[in-house]
Structure 1
Amino acid sequence: MGLRIHFTYEDLARVVLAEEPDPLWEGLLSLHLLQNRDGPLVFGHWRRATRGSFDPALSRLRHLAPPRGYSADFLTPTSASAGFEAGVDALLSTPRARLRTDLTELSLARPLPSWARPLADGDTQALRGLGGLVRRHHERFVAPFWTHVRTRFDEARSVAARAMLRSGFAGLAAGLHPSVRWSAPVLYIAGAHLRGDLHLQGRGLRIIPSFFCWPGPIVLKDGSLPPVLVHPVTHDPRWLAPPRTAGAGTHQALAALLGRSRAAVLEEVVEGRTTSEMALRLGISPATVSHHVSVLRESGLLTSRRIGGAVLHTVTGLGTDLLGSGPTRGVRPRPKAVVRVDR
């Protein structure tokens, strides 16, 4: 099982990284996670935090985006790349042929309720009702957590852009997800939910890091639509966990981090650095840098990802908070920026 994406030379020249998180993709994928128990360590607190936001009317969306199998392609229009409102406007303008095609595909797996008929006919009132449900879902389950979505998106995009600059598309592909493998001119994506071949035919590929994508990459089922590859970002499992009371162990851990060299390493990874780059910039040995990185990583202050023959280190949200709290004098605080054939 798996998907094969076939590239031409023209496609490789037209690979682009999304500049902003896609709010409608985040809405769709968060809807999946609300219907299953996947990723309990990462999304458990989020599910509990939003439990009181349940709205019976939103259950209609679950018919269009079940937790397993196909979800309607029209729920993630390309225009959402320009923002949530642009995405909703595009959804309300979905052609009748697209509505009928996607709803027919959904009906092959399970019967659809009666309200799906006017939607398939392109009824204006039915489309407005759908837009209202998408908006309410976004406001309750996605928008309150957009800072986290944006932070992880920015980090993933930075890593991907750096990989492409260093090693071209092969380097970018290697860092997307463990299920992704590049063997020119084909990108292989393993997964029980993916199958078949997607021929890009000169259209290129838009790559979108996604906060709520889990557990692996996803693409649109209809190969005639503009090709996109949505992949999971790297998560800090404590992103929504209740803050812990500082105890003796916490103070000891922080004390171990306040040395000048280790603070300098943490400052450097704000911009994203490899081990060798930090050793050169700080004037210390790569072995010493590796030791400091190991301590910082185990403390949850940075993450590391291999790009070709190098390892790129980036600061986590917890590391950002530490830098901004002022205990490490001289360290610059980082502004808080914060792959679907069959879904």
Structure 2
Amino acid sequence: MLRIHFAAGDLARTRVSDGPDPLWESVLSLHQLQERRQDPALDAWRRHVMHHGRSSLSVLLPLVPARGYFPDFLTPAESADGFEAGLDALLSTPRSQLRHQIGRLAVDRPVEPWLRSVAEGATPALRRLDEALREYRHHAFGTTWHHIRARVEADRARRTRTQWCHGTDAMLRTFAPCLYWRPPVLEADYPVDSEIHLEGRGLLLIPSYFCRRRPVALADPSLPPTLVYPACPSGPGRTPPVTAPGSQSAQLARLMGHTRAAVLESLGTDCTTSELARLAGVSLSSASEHAAVLRGAGLISSSRRRNCVYHRLTPMGLALLDGRR
């Protein structure tokens, strides 16, 4: 059992990550390749990776065994800023941490000689790890990243909407039965007994496409508290449910039109106009036009970052979707 203990201020510092974490998805997808109870939905993906990614798998699988411990340096916090940022942080891990974590990996199983070179921070070994992660990313996520992102975005939209409108306590209750919130403790089924005391640091929750059965936490309690959990499979990329005539979605469609309502409901996390068009199933020009109307009504806000315009729901927009006055 995993028990995460919240103290004063931890609820206010608890949040859901901004999107899929590429290195966490890499590690957890390596678990899925070795899973005994394989998910049929991943069969085609698994065959593709096993066929095309053999050289990278020979390097990575010894680091990520099917069961038990894997090194925390494989999933640095900087990965939240993208694959390149995460990989730079991984390759810059201090030698003392590499040595300690590879040593812990060797407690349960013999490690290959090249992993001992990783533990010493040897440049050729780290270069080999860098190349393997890049190759694996190409074969494992080259054509599937949009599916991963769509599921994670849909899950994040649900959690953050609840947090905006009802608070973190209510948001934590949405994770049952994967997680159980019994204030001030968050509990999860776990292969080993583990206690994490947040002590005012808060908790980062990361929805994951390849986390399928139970949540995963960092092994080192001194690292920023992080919990990766299975992203809810509903949302963009699946057949949408039939909308009942009296439902909130139907009422929004009657108020502002089906297309504009779809654009509003597609906004769960920050997304560009292009992403908004894809999620809502409309053209780029249509998404831009509807976003301008929604922004004028105070339901969304927009900001420019480099060459892209990002949109997000305002508290008023969240409240409207939630059905509150």
Instruction: Please indicate, yes or no, whether the TM-score normalized by the shorter chain is above 0.5.
Output: yes
TM-score where L is the length of structure 1: 0.69
Change (3 A) 1:172 1:194: farther
How far apart, CA to CA, are the structure 2 residues paired with 1:281 and 1:39?
Answer: 40
Aligned residues of 1:164 and 1:171 also touching (Cα < 8 A)? yes
Please state how far the C-alpha of 1:120 moved relative to its aligned partner.
0.9
Q: Secondary structure at the match of 1:63?
A: coil
- 1:277 and 2:276 correspond: no
Report the equivalent of 1:16. Answer: 15
Report the 3-state secondary structure (helix = DSSP H, G, I; strand = E; otherwise coil) of the residue aligned with 1:48: helix
Q: Does structure 2 retain, via aligned residues, the 8 Å contact 1:177–1:231? A: no
Structure 2 runs not aligned, ≥5 long: 255-277, 284-289, 291-325
Residues 194, 157 of structure 1: alpha-carbon distance in 2 compared, 3 angstrom cutoff: farther
- The aligned residue for residue 231 of structure 2 is 233
Paired AA for residue 146 in structure 2: T
AA paired with 1:50?
V
Aligned to 1:161: 160
Note the alpha carbon deviations across 1:71-106, whole angstroms, 9 max, x for none. Answer: 111100111111000011111100111111111111
Structure 2 CA distance, aligned partners of 1:323 and 1:108?
A: 51
- Measured on the aligned residues, the alpha-carbon RMSD in Å equals 3.1
Q: Distance in 2 between matches of 1:46 and 1:76?
A: 22
Matching residue's letter, 1:166: C
* 1:232-271 mapped onto 2 (5 Å cutoff): 232-235=230-233, 265=243
Aligned to 2:137: 138
Change (3 A) 1:323 1:147: closer
How much does 1:139 deviate?
1.0
Other-structure match for 1:6? 5
2:82 is aligned to 83
Q: Distance in 2 between matches of 1:281 and 1:58?
A: 48
2:204 corresponding residue in structure 1? 206
Q: Counterparts of 2:41 and 2:85 in 1: how far apart (Å)? A: 29
Cα drift, residue 323 of structure 1: 6.0
1:184 aligns with 2:218: no
* SS across alignment from 2:93: coil
- Closer, same or farther in 2 for the Cα pair 1:167/1:276, shift >3 Å? farther
Superposition pairs for residues 43-62 of structure 1, below 5 Å?
A: 43-62=42-61
Q: 2:118, 2:2 → 1: CA distance?
A: 31
Shift of residue 278, structure 1, vs aligned partner: 3.8
Structure 1 gaps of 5+ residues are 241-256, 269-274, 284-319, 326-331, 333-343
TM-fit CA distance, 1:322? 11
The aligned counterpart of 1:217 is 215
Structure 2 CA distance for partners of 1:194 and 1:324, relative to 1, 3 Å: farther
SS at structure 1 position matched to 2:217: coil
Aligned residues of 2:55 and 2:132 also touching (Cα < 8 A): no
Letter in 1 for 2:6: F
SS in 2 for 1:209: strand
* Aligned-residue offset at 1:159: 0.4
Amino acid of the residue matched to residue 11 of structure 1? Answer: D
Q: Secondary structure at the match of 1:12?
A: coil
Q: Aligned letter for 1:48?
A: R
Contact 2:56 2:136 in 1 (8 A): no
The answer on whether the counterparts of 1:177 and 1:232 sit within 8 Å (CA) in structure 2 is no
Q: In structure 1, what is the Cα distance between the partners aligned to 2:166 and 2:279?
A: 32
SS at match of 2:10: helix
Query: How many Å separate the matches in 1 of 2:137 and 2:56?
Result: 14
**2-structure distance, mates of 1:198, 1:118:** 31
Contact 2:23 2:79 in 1 (8 A): yes
**Alpha-carbon separation, structure 2, partners of 1:150 and 1:279:** 26
Q: Alpha carbons of 1:322 and 1:209: their partners in 2 closer, same or farther (altered >3 Å)? A: closer
- Distance change in 2, residues 1:220/1:321 (3 Å): closer
